[in-house]
Copies of this chain bind each other. A is one copy, B any other.
Amino acid sequence: MKEINLAVIGSGSTYCPELMDGFIKAQDSLKLKRVAFMDIDERKRTIVGGLCVRMLEKAGIDCETVLTDDLDLALQGADFVVTQIRVGKLPCRHLDESIPLKHDLIGQETTGIGGFFKALRTIPAIANITDRMEKICPNAWLINFTNPSGIITEFLVNHTKIKSVGLCNVPINMVDDVKAAVGEDAQITYLGLNHLSWITSVKVNGEEMFDKLFDEGFAPTVMANIEDDGFDMDCIRACHGFPSSYLQYYYNRATKLAHLKAGVKSRAQVCMEIEEQLLEMYSDRELCVKPALLDQRGGHKYSLAAVSLIDSLANDKRDVQIVNLRNEGALDFMDDDDVVEIPALITADGPKPLPIEKVTNRHIISLMRTVKSYEKYTVEAAMTGSDSAALNALMLHPLCGDFAQAKACYEEMKEAHKQFLPQFFKS
């Protein structure tokens, strides 16, 4: 059994007990030697970290634990670094989600304009983490959960020297939904980018079940953090793929926008309330297990995804998991260096993309390419502070497109997030 040294960056996240719960359940396969909980927010670090330590103790896991705000200390000897940071915290998310509405744009924190700004704020912070990893633990794996996970991974694998994988809980949930409908042994074709993915084929004993599932009205369950506006069956018929929940922002753009504008609270404000409730619970020193309320924040099966990945990387399990990694020819219509979200064989040497049957669905090809161009421009803007790269990103984004709206929204948000975007305010 592999012993591992783990560093959790952004350990004040109220999701963190979920992660610990995963390691506890996996203790027959993965032995934790040391866990470093690093966060710059003292209150959250202390409360959430306290619960995590109590959970490990109660589960009888005997490992060193460190609570710290010192990144270098956290990274000492790390084999795996999990990043789950939120630059500017939920108040910035509130701005991400609410300012775009004024400009008739969707602010959503991963797929929408909010995700764009989150990426601009986050990439410099991630770059700082990889810089320190190069010095302190150059061989460690960075497992990224920070949203927008696809764009962050696009940055990580193409612009840093650190080994990294991007992870999301959407694929595992979508696949499990299909399996629940047709059986565990279904062969499922899943492809896309993070939060822009489809299941395009479901085979049981070699027989294609897609049309049958469609006729029965099957649709993957919508994630808990998204208001479900439904999918039009004519839309799914045309796309010929079961879409990820996040595609509602594309297919139902006008409806989503109207609902978001009609909302009293942003999702960020709802999350602030849930977070306060969770912190209050976590503060109870009698609590030594993950509370059920956690599932309300959309993190369903998050720990399963994370721990399975670390387990397979650590133990060279060579099973198939859906992760974000470089395409390297798996999809012939994407470039080799494009980060995509597809099934990969997880080995000690890293995830290896598995070849996928030839894709002829122009709808999927076109959306993936367009959004990838948006992502590449976003990474460029985050790294260089280029206004033109930023505007190019928004001009290509299917949820924006109009230059005047893009520019007005961009300028207002840049101003609002000024303190976290020094790269755009170099004199």
Q: Which residues of A contact B (CB under 8 A)?
A: 98, 101-104, 232, 234-235, 237-240, 250-255, 258, 261-265, 362-363, 365-367, 369-370, 373-374, 376-377, 387-389, 391-392, 395-396, 398, 401-405, 407-408, 411-412, 415
Of the candidates A101, A238, A261, the one having the most CB atoms from chain B within 10 angstroms of its own CB is A238
**A362–B391 contact, CB under 8 A?**
no
**B102–A405 contact, CB under 8 A?**
no
Q: How far is the CB of A94 from chain B (nearest CB, A)?
A: 12
**B404–A255 contact, CB under 8 A?**
yes
In the complex, what residue of chain B is closest to A366 when comparing beta carbons? B373
| In-complex Cβ contact of A377 among B104, B265, B362, B392 (8 A) | B362
Chain B residues near A401 (CB-CB < 8 A): 250, 253, 398, 401
**B362–A103 contact, CB under 8 A?**
no
Kindly state the separation between the CA atoms of A250 and B370 in the bound complex, as whole angstroms: 15
In the complex, what residue of chain B is closest to A415 when comparing beta carbons? B264
Enumerate 30 A-B pairs (CB-CB under 8 Å) in ascending A order: A104-B254, A104-B261, A234-B391, A234-B403, A235-B395, A238-B388, A239-B392, A239-B395, A240-B388, A250-B401, A251-B395, A251-B402, A252-B403, A252-B404, A253-B402, A254-B402, A254-B405, A262-B404, A263-B412, A264-B412, A264-B415, A265-B415, A362-B373, A363-B395, A365-B373, A366-B369, A369-B369, A369-B370, A398-B398, A401-B401
Kindly state the separation between the CA atoms of A192 and B238 in the bound complex, as whole angstroms: 27
Of the candidates A362, A387, A391, A398, the one having the most CB atoms from chain B within 10 angstroms of its own CB is A362
In the complex, what residue of chain B is closest to A101 when comparing beta carbons? B102
| In-complex Cβ contact of A392 among B254, B264, B362 (8 A) | B362
Chain B residues near A411 (CB-CB < 8 A): 264
The answer to whether A396 and B363 touch (CB under 8 A), given A102-B101, A403-B235, is yes
Chain B residues near A254 (CB-CB < 8 A): 104, 402, 404-405
Q: How far is the CB of A255 from chain B (nearest CB, A)?
A: 6
The answer to whether A395 and B238 touch (CB under 8 A), given A254-B402, A362-B377, is yes
Kindly state the separation between the CA atoms of A373 and B367 in the bound complex, as whole angstroms: 10
Chain B residues near A255 (CB-CB < 8 A): 404
Closest 10 CB pairs of A and B: A366-B373, A238-B388, A253-B402, A251-B403, A238-B391, A262-B408, A264-B412, A101-B102, A235-B403, A362-B373
Of the candidates A258, A363, A374, the one having the most CB atoms from chain B within 10 angstroms of its own CB is A363
Q: How far is the CB of A261 from chain B (nearest CB, A)?
A: 5
In the complex, what residue of chain B is closest to A399 when comparing beta carbons? B401
Of the candidates A239, A255, A366, A405, the one having the most CB atoms from chain B within 10 angstroms of its own CB is A366
Q: How far is the CB of A99 from chain B (nearest CB, A)?
A: 9
**A396–B366 contact, CB under 8 A?**
yes
| In-complex Cβ contact of A367 among B251, B258, B396 (8 A) | B396
The answer to whether A403 and B373 touch (CB under 8 A), given A103-B261, A388-B238, is no
Kindly state the separation between the CA atoms of A401 and B405 in the bound complex, as whole angstroms: 16
Chain B residues near A235 (CB-CB < 8 A): 391, 395, 403, 407
Q: How far is the CB of A244 from chain B (nearest CB, A)?
A: 15
In the complex, what residue of chain B is closest to A377 when comparing beta carbons? B362
In the complex, what residue of chain B is closest to A251 when comparing beta carbons? B403
Q: How far is the CB of A93 from chain B (nearest CB, A)?
A: 16
Additional 18 contacts, C-beta under 8 A, given A103-B261, A362-B376, A363-B396: A98-B102, A101-B102, A104-B254, A104-B261, A232-B404, A234-B391, A235-B395, A240-B388, A252-B403, A254-B404, A264-B412, A362-B377, A362-B396, A363-B392, A366-B369, A366-B373, A367-B396, A370-B370
Kindly state the separation between the CA atoms of A94 and B63 in the bound complex, as whole angstroms: 51
**A238–B392 contact, CB under 8 A?**
yes
Chain B residues near A415 (CB-CB < 8 A): 264-265
The answer to whether A402 and B362 touch (CB under 8 A), given A262-B103, A265-B415, A411-B264, is no
